[in-house]
Amino acid sequence: MTSTADATGIVSTPMNRVEGIEKVTGHATYTADVVVPGTTYAVLVQSEIPHGTVTVESLRASTERALAAPGVLHVLTPLNCPALHAPPPQMSDDLPLERRPPLSDLTVQHVGQHMAVVVADTLENATAAAASFELAYETASPQLSAREVLEDGAGAGDRDGEGDGAIRHGVYQPDHFVKLEDEKLQDRRGDDDEPAGAARVSATYTTPLNTHYPIELSATIAQWDDDVLTVHDTTRWITGERMALAAYLGIPEAKIRILSPLVGGAFGSKSFLWMHVALCAVAAREVGRPVKLVLTRDQMFSSTGHRPRTEQHLSLVADDAARILSTEQHTLTETSTVAHFCEPVGLSARFLYDSPRLVVSHTVARINYPTPCFMRGPGEAPGLFALEVAMDELAYASNVDPMELRLRNDTDHDQASGKAWSGKHLRECYLQGAERFGWGDRPMAPRSLHRDGLRVGWGMATATYPGRRMPASCRVTTDATGKVRFASATHEVGTGVRTVMTQVAADAAGLDVAVVGFDSGDSLFPDAPYSGASQTTATVGSAVHQAATEWRKRLDDMGGHLDRLTPGQLETLNFTTTSDGAADGGPVSQSFGAHFCEVTVDEEIGRVSVTRWVAMMDCGRVLNPKLARNQVMGGITFGLGMALLEQVPYDVHTAQLIGEYYLPTHADRPEFDIGFVDVPDYGLDPVGVRGIGEIGTCGVPAAISNAIFHATGKRLRDLPITLENLLKPFDDESDPGGTP
Amino acid sequence: MKTFEFEHATTVDGAVDRVVATGGKYYAGGTNLLDLMKGGVEAPTALVDVRRLGLREVTATESGGVLIGSGVTNSALANHPLIRSRYPVLSQAILSGATTQLRNMATVGGNLMQRTRCPYFMETAFAQCNKRNPGSGCAAKDGFNREHALFGASESCVAIHPSDMAVALAILDATVHVHGPDGRRDVPIAEFFRSPGDEPQRDNTLRAAEFIVDVELPPSPFAEHSWYLKVRDRHSYAFALVSVAAGLRVEDGVISAAAVALGGVAPMPWRVAEADAGLIGQPPSDAVFRRAAERIMAGARPLGQNGFKVDLGKHSVVRALTTALRVT
Amino acid sequence: MRDVTLTVNGESRTVAADVRSTLLDLLRETLHLTGTKKGCDHGLCGACTVSVDGERVVSCLTLAASVDGSDVLTVEGIADGDQLHPLQQAFVDCDGFQCGFCTSGQISSAHAMLHEHARGDLSTASFEAGRATVCDGPKALSDNEIRERMAGNICRCGAYANIVEAIAGVARETK
């Protein structure tokens, strides 16, 4: 593939974000900021039990009471909600789109399930009326964990005659991850039996429920003009949401317009179609006025996906030169009773280290808990936690430096497919990262380092994340003044896509950035896939690059001077192109990186501080170093939360949300030193990029756990690592600052 | 939330009269009360706003102490020159709590009156909470109780009081001046909070419609050596798992005054007379501090998930005393 | 409903407000000043930070009726017409945001914080430096001081390092 000649010096420059001034002056418009005249307000009523049936009497009584409350315009419940259609199997089989439309029956499948929507003239009136709901239930015994499902005698299929196949129980083992047939969730290679080897590590690792917690609450504004529906929504899947919404509502896609100009963070949420969006559209149709629905923060835990729990059993066997002979990673995870999702934990183990024998399995249990979905680094984040801690354990079992162990087991091709990598510079990441960190001075033994009465530890981990690319389209419009705008139905969620696409377009079209613009966030723009899977730069970048290259070619074919064109000629500079996804049979694209971190541990009060962090990333070409650095620092901070702070707290008896979900604050993050290998990889796309949005998080929890081991000698395999794990007994008076 | 009457009071007597007449509540910063109203935990029929009563002064008293109006914001108190120089532990304790935004809104009176953050209390979806709904039971005893009490609890309730400021006031021997329908009362801080006993719905010993007018501090021996240590799950902006307010005066190499109080472990700041007394007359040393730590944690009654607070509390007491000693 | 009068960004506004309305919802839904954001509605995230009578507060826990008659400064009032405040320019240049949703709150908070420091206000970080600093206030705004003083503004995108860099740069310039 051809490369983009960096003739104009636009790519690889730290250009400021194009929407920066709007964001710092409060003039940036997010979904909930859109003012639609005549807007009414919708508030959800959600179930408070995990499993059972709501009584008709209580629905009727609550509805009556709410309708009589001040300002209430309408109440939707399972008793009166117009029937919605189930999505077709090709949508719900692989993706966490709920098979059972909302408000379609009286059963309750999880705490937080939508039971009613109250619409009123003001937010205060809608909130008060919704709070007046008192629902009664016939409770049924819930299954609240995968272990419980297995103990109950796991079997696929329905139970209690519930549902029609939309509601399912038991366990299953999916073949591959979403629609990616090569990303096998049940995989093996090599001998049947695990070899003896010289060193063996075998342990269980667990990760808890995590939630995305974008600061922006999910919001939807739906309005109908006759039979045309306009939806402002905090979505990163405009194209797919239009398709899914059309399916649930039973109307043509052409009758739906979706707008999402800026998204206030997603991290995996705000994709797919979440049920409250469909309900908002229905409510708007019933009320005959625009309806605005903003989820509360508590509702964000149950209504827009989350990362499910994982329990991973991982075994590594190595020979006496610390070369891996066998890797086994078996994952037990969870989804809801009404949608499919499998956290693809074991995918990295298939290829990350040279391992002749491999067994990977995933078992998913359907429990009475809300539907999970992708969360930053789906699979990689929890899977690399276990794999990279296990590698650290193997390093100690083999008496080999942890980074040396990685180098010895580095691969030069993708073992899962047998193909070459489109580009791989992981060795440079290890070596340059280690150099910058000072890893060479690391004493192997735990509890060797201390400073100011605190234990000090250094840990490292490998990071990896796929480079993906899907088809996308891009439109170009040129005006008579010479301004050229590119547009695609992608989404600015904070990744800087609008800025980077401006750079790519200007560079490929040979234009000054000042005359180039990039628009996103409208389904009227040409299609783009969901903004996730770190694929946007490669995907939309390919479309933009293709459009800009074509634009330059057309202009050059007409003499190369915009100001000398006839109107007819100018019109030929308005067009739409479509670029392909990754080539079938092409090389495998993967980004790689290495994390090195220092922690201090105060064992008397159980406090861990992550003090400094070095990350070297191989993500292909870096289009904007300022944005890329910010993205990686953000990813590391996200991983720090996963390691030390985050678990969705819920009461084991009632499955209710309980207490606060802690995120890292300003005071929690380390000092950062971020570097990029910055070698373009044209194997995936003509721009030379692979994704960057998620790799920063991958491997972070393991690096922290490994550093804590180095500091304290405590091997911690369950996240989050908390104070109780680190506190030393009061009667243990060994000097924290001296010899162990 | 349900609607309510709202008015600004202009005098203390007027405020008391309105609360008596309406059965409503006093409203100052609202950082806790408004939050509870949003959650349906509190549903007062009337709010009597007390922010226009003045009560915003911090003044030196003739006896060398200080008088703090109940309307002084947490931030204003923590930053006041008299407090910073003479009662630094109070400043430090306040600044450890919440965030600047919340401290700018919250008042001294409101800080004392804030309710527990026990999640079963805060969330009405949990039916069993004797504090919110007397007689309904206590879900925390056998449920999530990692952040709950080691001391001072009862069969009916194991929640803690979350105030950092109160822990410092406890070692400073504060007195709370209240005004109510029966006139004025002085309530020593050690008598302000109460154990739940059989009436967990009452957090403190205030009588109906009593209003906190100001808080008085006597002169303190701890201006030079004091420390507030707060141990929590992240580096800032979280409630205490355990906190310690420690004050020492050392003369001629011997401790001549001492006070230690724990936060995060009881429905009130936890002081133990034997622990304080045991420090007096001793040269400050790790052994002496460890003995005080053992004494203050004596009689701890852990629940299913908070046993770690016993060792954490002991370590924290030693750490706070050690750090207090080293302040320059 | 009751009339609430506020001077918002220098302009007097009187609106009929529901007594239950928070200052946040009044600003956003009635006055359509949507720069201030709702992130949690419970005082946990800081995205709704504005200044009331010169002090930064979380507007989601501020009852509008309670602050009747007050001065309110929102992010829309921080720039001087088209001229960005140095903090705003610094955020753009240092890339102190990603999705931008917490940014209004970060800037409103930082703007107030610089005034707080200038008048000698403390944070818990100040106590590490000894009694003289506690009495007089820290002269310089160290990174640690900034981080502690900004801890009430959560950024899920994790742009923390650049936010501190932006604020520290402005703090140095304004000395």
Closest to A111 (Cα-Cα) out of A93, A135, A129: A135
How many other CB atoms sit within 10 Å of the CB of residue C14? 10
Mean pLDDT, rounded, for A74-95: 92
Question: Would you state the pLDDT for residue A404?
Answer: 98
Which of the four pLDDT bands, split at 50, 70 and 90, describes residue A4? very low
Residue C56 to residue B101, Cβ atoms within 8 A: yes
- Asked whether the domain spanning B225-326 has the same topology as the one spanning B5-52, the reply is no
Question: What is the SS3 string spanning A556-579?
Answer: HHCCCCHHHCCHHHHHCCCEEEEE
- With b meaning 16 or more CB within 10 Å and e meaning fewer, what string describes B220-243? bbbbbbbbbbbbbbbbbbbbbbbb
Of the options 3.30.365.10, 3.40.50.150, 3.40.640.10, 2.60.40.1260, the CATH number for the domain spanning A379-467+586-726: 3.30.365.10
Write the single-letter amino acid at A264. G
pLDDT band at residue A272 under the 50/70/90 scheme:
confident
The domain spans of chain C are 2-77, 86-173
pLDDT digits (tens, 9 = 90+) for A7-49: 457 888 999 999 999 999 999 999 999 999 999 999 999 999 9
CA distance C32 to chain A (A): 8
pLDDT of residue A155: 56
Q: How far is CA A199 from CA A202, A325, A358, A396, A398, in A?
A: 10, 10, 16, 10, 6
Q: How far is B275 from chain A (nearest CA, A)?
A: 17
What pLDDT score does B239 carry?
87
pLDDT by residue (tens digit) across A329-377?
999 999 999 999 999 999 999 999 999 999 999 999 999 999 999 999 9
- Whether A308 and A377 have beta carbons less than 8 Å apart is answered as no
Residue A737 has pLDDT above 70, yes or no: no
Contact present, C75 and A26 (Cβ < 8 Å): yes
On whether the B5-52 domain is CATH 3.40.50.10470, my answer is no
Alpha carbon distance B75, A120 (integer Å): 39
- Region of poorest pLDDT, from A35-39, A158-162, C54-58, C160-164: A158-162
pLDDT of residue A739: 35
Q: Tokens 């109460």 appear where?
A: B194
> If residue B243 lies in a helix (H) or strand (E), which one and from where to where?
strand B242-251
Interface check B145 vs C, CB under 8 A: no
Q: How many angstroms separate the CA atoms of A96 and A381, rounded?
A: 19
Q: Across chain C, what does the average pLDDT equal?
A: 97
Instruction: Give domain C86-173's CATH superfamily.
Output: [2Fe-2S]-binding domain (1.10.150.120)
Average the pLDDT over B237-263 and give the result: 96
CA geometry: angle A382, A388, A392, nearest 5 deg = 145
Q: Is residue A733 pLDDT above 80, yes or no?
A: no
* Global confidence as pTM: 0.96
Chain C residues touching A23 at Cβ < 8 A: 91, 97, 100, 103
pLDDT value of position A89: 87
Look at residue A535 in the predicted model and tell me its pLDDT.
86
**Residues B161 and B168 sit within 8 Å (Cβ to Cβ):** no
- By CA distance, what is C62's nearest residue in B? B30
Q: Is the pLDDT score of A407 beyond 90?
A: yes
- Is residue A720 reached through a cis peptide bond, with omega within 30 degrees of 0 on the bond before it? yes
Provide the residue count of chain C: 175
pLDDT digits (tens, 9 = 90+) for B296-315: 999 999 999 999 999 999 99
From chain C, the residues in CB contact with A637 under 8 A are 158, 160
- pLDDT grade, residue A659 (50/70/90)? confident
Determine which of A294, A614, A657, A666 to mutate to test the interface with C (most C C-beta atoms within 10 Å). A666
Supply the pLDDT for residue A735.
Answer: 58
Whether B147 sits inside 8 A of A659 (CB atoms) is yes
Which class would CATH give C2-77? alpha beta
> Interface partners of B (3+ CB pairs, < 8 Å)?
A, C
- Note whether C1 contacts B: Cβ–Cβ < 8 A: no
Q: Tokens representing C118?
A: 């200038």
Alpha-carbon distances of A101 from A106, A254, A268, A649, C8, rounded to whole Å: 12, 21, 22, 27, 44
Answer positive or negative: Cα dihedral of B51, B53, B59, B61.
Answer: negative
Q: Is the pLDDT of residue B29 over 90?
A: yes
What are the residues facing A617 on neighbouring strands? A593, A676
C109-138 residues touching A, CB cutoff 8 A: none
* Chain C residues touching residue A267 (CB < 8 angstroms): 156
> What are the strands, taking DSSP E only, across A645-696?
671-676
| pLDDT tens, position by position, B180-196 | 999 999 999 999 999 99
Chain A residues lying within 8 Å of C36, measured CB to CB: 26
Q: ipTM of this model?
A: 0.98
Token digits of residue C5: 């009068």
pLDDT of residue A611: 98
Higher pLDDT among residues A94 and A414, named by residue: A414
> What is the C-alpha separation between B303 and B140, in angstroms, rounded?
9
Residue B326 touches chain C, beta carbons under 8 Å? no
Q: Does the CB of A69 have a partner CB in chain B at under 8 Å?
A: no
Using 50, 70 and 90 to split pLDDT, how confident is the model at A158?
A: very low
CA dihedral B267, B269, B274, B277 (to 10 degrees): -170
Q: Are strands A199-207 and B46-49 parallel, antiparallel or unpaired?
A: unpaired
Token readout for B50 is 């007390």
A451 alpha carbon, distance to own chain's centre: 37
Q: Decide if pLDDT at A575 tops 50.
A: yes
Looking at CATH, the fold of the domain delimited by A20-30+469-579 is given as Aldehyde Oxidoreductase; domain 4 (3.30.365)
Closest of C172, C37, C155 to residue C95, by C-alpha: C155
Question: How far, in Å, CA of A588 to CA of A185, rounded?
Answer: 17
pLDDT at C82: 92
Show me where the domains of chain B are located: 5-52, 225-326
Let me know: does B256 contact B249? Beta carbons within 8 Å. yes
Report the alpha-carbon distance of residue B20 to residue B11 in Å, rounded. 14
Q: How is chain A split into domains, by residue range?
A: 20-30+469-579, 379-467+586-726
Q: Retrieve residue C115's tokens.
A: 């005034």
Q: Does domain B225-326 have CATH number 3.30.390.50?
A: yes
Q: Whole-number mean pLDDT of chain A?
A: 93
Is the pLDDT confidence value at B35 over 80? Answer: yes
DSSP 8-state assignment for residue A4: P
What sign for the dihedral angle of Cα A265, A267, A273, A277? negative
In angstroms, the CA A338 to CA A341 distance is 10
Amino acid identity of residue B225, one-letter, is H
Question: Touching check for B99 and chain A: CB below 8 Å?
Answer: no
Q: 10 Å Cβ neighbour count for A385?
A: 32
Of B81, B101, B327, the CB nearest to C49: B101
**Nearest partner of A686 among A631, A623, A626, A629, judged by Cα:** A623
In this complex, the residue of C38, C44, C147 whose CB is nearest that of residue A217 is: C38
Cβ atoms B1, C21 nearer than 8 A: no
